[in-house]
């Protein structure tokens, strides 16, 4: 969310009656608009996000994308499917940016079936390629919530803990009682969240309520993006999940020098099941435990099951473990001191200023958001650390 979410263009928005919105605002507090409520919720969310909670760092997320007939609806431009896929690409990139040692898998559902688009994997490239391919497919039939959830929950012993459903249809075609499945999901402690593209559907309400997920319905495209981005942040780790140590391997990238005559190109383990990519490479990452070769990280070793990551990856997700504490908000009138922001050096003009509790440095609203959403560390504290 580095750029200000733009409202949809006027002509892209639905048939609106702007004059009515105006009237509602005038007629006093009795008719508070939905947008007011939304704004308050957003503010609250910002604060909630900064509490000291344990977050799950290694995430295994399955995204279920509805690609049924209703995705052809043109209320998102050019249509729901294209718009969703575009946002999904963005989501996948952001996801791996913020959760480097996590994995994601994608499932599409249409025509009463569920189809696994990509398996659980920690590499964005494959997902992006798969998503690009879906754009051309046609949207037919009805989605099946049951089948797609079952597709995720069925393989026993999965470590999946999160499912995100992007649900456009108002119906689902289920071969069996979905409430039974919801119970199973609940027992497996899988959180299911739903983003609805058309309206609130009761079965989704129940699904998310029972499994502890969130349920949101989009208003327009920018709201859709916002909702999707909420799922980029790792959810709080459930207290019941084991706080265990995880074995990890940190393989070094070995490049056989061209001059080395003994070097033979070899297949990487990850190529065993995928076709199409060039098979033979010279260098790669070698699992420190079993010497299996991989070309990309992060990956789970196919031979010994060790999680292979690179140190920089791990470092990037470090900030989730120790989220930066929320800054203290004080109204500008009460603030006494120099009126410029520590970060951007601009003048403090907004209603309130934000003070870091650790280093007592002062920031403006924009910088506060930037620090918490992107930097994840206080520049003031960094400076004092270095000088001391």
Partner 1 sequence: FRLNIDGLLVCFPYDYIYPEQYSYMLELKRTLDAKGHGVLEMPSGTGKTISLLSLIVAYQKAYPLEVTKLIYCSRTVPEIEKVVEELKKLMDYYTKQTEAKNDFLALALSSRKNLCIHPEILHANIVVYSYNYLLDPKIADLVSKELAKKSVVVFDEAHNIDNVCIDSMSVNITRRTLDRCQTNVETLQNTISRIKETDAAKLQEEYRRLVEGLTEANVARETDMYLSNPVLPDEILQEAVPGSIRTAEHFVGFMKRFLEYLKARLRIHHVVQESTPQFLKDIYEKVCIDRKPLRFCAERLRSLLRTLEIADIADFSAITLISHFATLVSTYNKGFTIIIEPFEDRTPTIANPVLHFSCMDPSIAIKPVFGRFQSVIITSGTLSPLDIYPRILDFRPVTVASFTMTLARTCLCPLIVGRGNDQVAMTSKFETREDFAVIRNYGNLLLEMSAIVPDGIVAFFTSYIYMENIVASWYEQGILENIQRNKLIFIETQDAAETSMALMLNKNKISCKRLFISFSFQPPVHHYGRAVIVFGVPYVYTQSRILKARLEYLRDQFQIRENDFLTFDAMRHAAQCVGRAIRGKTDYGLMIFADKRYARADKRGKLPRWIQEHLTDGSLNLTIDETVQLGKHFLRQMAQPFRQEDQLGLSLLTLEQLQSEDMLQKIAQIAQA
CB of 56 or CB of 196, closer to partner 1: 196
Q: How many C-beta atoms surround the C-beta of residue 113 within 10 A? A: 15
CB of 7 or CB of 349, closer to partner 1: 7
Q: What angle do CA 33, 36, 38 make, to 5 degrees?
A: 110
In whole angstroms, the minimum distance from the beta carbon of 9 to partner 1 comes to: 17
CB of 11 or CB of 19, closer to partner 1: 19
In whole angstroms, the minimum distance from the beta carbon of 30 to partner 1 comes to: 6
In whole angstroms, the minimum distance from the beta carbon of 208 to partner 1 comes to: 11
DSSP state letter for 374: I
Q: What angle do CA 71, 5, 18 make, to 5 degrees?
A: 75
Residues at the contact surface with partner 1, assessed by CB under 8 A: 14-17, 19-20, 24, 29-34, 37-38, 40-41, 70, 75, 145, 170-172, 174, 177-179, 196, 198-203, 206, 216-219
Residue where the block lists tokens 């420190």:
288
CB of 179 or CB of 322, closer to partner 1: 179
In whole angstroms, the minimum distance from the beta carbon of 329 to partner 1 comes to: 20
Burial of 222 (0-12, 13-18, 19+ CB in 10 A): middle
Q: Is 182 helix (H, G, I), strand (E, B) or coil?
A: helix
In this structure, the strands spanning 284-286 and 293-294 are: antiparallel
In whole angstroms, the minimum distance from the beta carbon of 142 to partner 1 comes to: 8
In whole angstroms, the minimum distance from the beta carbon of 237 to partner 1 comes to: 23
In whole angstroms, the minimum distance from the beta carbon of 178 to partner 1 comes to: 7
CB of 196 or CB of 249, closer to partner 1: 196
In whole angstroms, the minimum distance from the beta carbon of 36 to partner 1 comes to: 9
DSSP state letter for 333: G
Long-range (24+ apart) CB contacts under 8 A made by 150-156 are 150/114, 150/181, 151/107, 151/114, 151/116, 152/62, 152/64, 152/105, 152/107, 152/190, 153/181, 153/184, 153/185, 153/188, 153/190
Residues 280-313, buried b or exposed e (16+ Cβ, 10 A)? ebeebbbbeeeebbbbebbbbbbeeebbbbbeeb
DSSP state letter for 171: -
Q: How far apart are CA 154 and CA 118, in angstroms?
A: 16
In whole angstroms, the minimum distance from the beta carbon of 235 to partner 1 comes to: 17
Handedness of CA 153, 157, 161, 162 (dihedral sign): negative
Q: Across-strand partners of 66?
A: 109
CB of 175 or CB of 305, closer to partner 1: 175
In this structure, the strands spanning 215-217 and 191-196 are: parallel
In whole angstroms, the minimum distance from the beta carbon of 228 to partner 1 comes to: 16
CB of 27 or CB of 244, closer to partner 1: 27
| Virtual torsion, Cα 218, 220, 221, 226, nearest 10 deg | -50
CB of 223 or CB of 302, closer to partner 1: 223
CB of 124 or CB of 212, closer to partner 1: 212
Q: How many C-beta atoms surround the C-beta of residue 173 within 10 A? A: 17
Q: How far apart are CA 111 and CA 141, in angstroms?
A: 4
CB of 185 or CB of 218, closer to partner 1: 218
């Amino acid at each position: 969310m580095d750029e200000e979410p733009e409202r949809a263009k006027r002509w892209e928005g639905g048939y609106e009656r702007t004059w009515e919105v105006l009237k509602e605002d005038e007629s006093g507090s009795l008719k508070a608009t939905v947008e007011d409520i939304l704004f308050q919720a957003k503010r609250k969310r910002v604060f909630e996000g900064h509490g000291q909670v344990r977050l799950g760092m290694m995430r295994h997320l399955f995204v279920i994308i509805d690609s049924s007939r209703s995705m052809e609806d043109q209320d998102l431009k050019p249509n729901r499917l294209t718009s969703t896929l575009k946002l999904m690409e963005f989501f996948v990139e952001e996801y791996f940016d913020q959760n480097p040692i996590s994995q994601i898998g994608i499932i599409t559902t249409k025509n009463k079936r569920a189809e696994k688009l990509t398996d659980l994997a920690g590499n964005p490239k494959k997902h992006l390629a798969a998503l690009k391919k879906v754009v051309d497919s046609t949207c037919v039939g009805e989605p099946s919530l049951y089948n797609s959830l079952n597709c995720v929950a069925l393989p026993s012993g999965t470590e999946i803990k999160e499912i995100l459903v992007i649900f456009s249809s108002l119906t689902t075609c289920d071969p069996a009682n979905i409430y039974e499945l919801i119970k199973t999901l609940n027992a497996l402690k899988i959180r299911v969240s739903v983003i609805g593209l058309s309206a609130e559907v009761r079965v989704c309400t129940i699904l998310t309520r029972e499994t502890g997920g969130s349920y949101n319905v989009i208003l327009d495209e920018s709201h859709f993006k916002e909702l999707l981005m909420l799922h980029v942040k790792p959810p709080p780790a459930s207290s019941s999940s084991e706080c265990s140590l995880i074995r990890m391997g940190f393989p070094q990238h070995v490049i056989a020098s061209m001059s080395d005559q003994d070097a033979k190109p070899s297949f990487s383990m990850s190529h065993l099941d995928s076709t199409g990519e060039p098979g033979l490479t010279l260098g790669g990452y070698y699992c420190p435990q079993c010497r299996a070769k991989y070309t990309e990280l992060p990956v789970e070793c196919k031979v010994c099951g060790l999680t292979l990551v690179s140190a920089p990856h791990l470092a990037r997700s470090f900030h989730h473990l120790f989220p930066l504490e929320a800054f203290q908000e004080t109204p500008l009138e009460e603030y006494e001191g120099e009126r410029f922001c520590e970060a951007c050096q601009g003048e403090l003009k907004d209603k309130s200023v934000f003070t870091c509790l650790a280093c007592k440095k002062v920031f403006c609203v924009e910088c506060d958001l930037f620090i918490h959403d992107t930097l994840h560390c206080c520049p003031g504290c960094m400076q004092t650390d270095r000088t001391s």
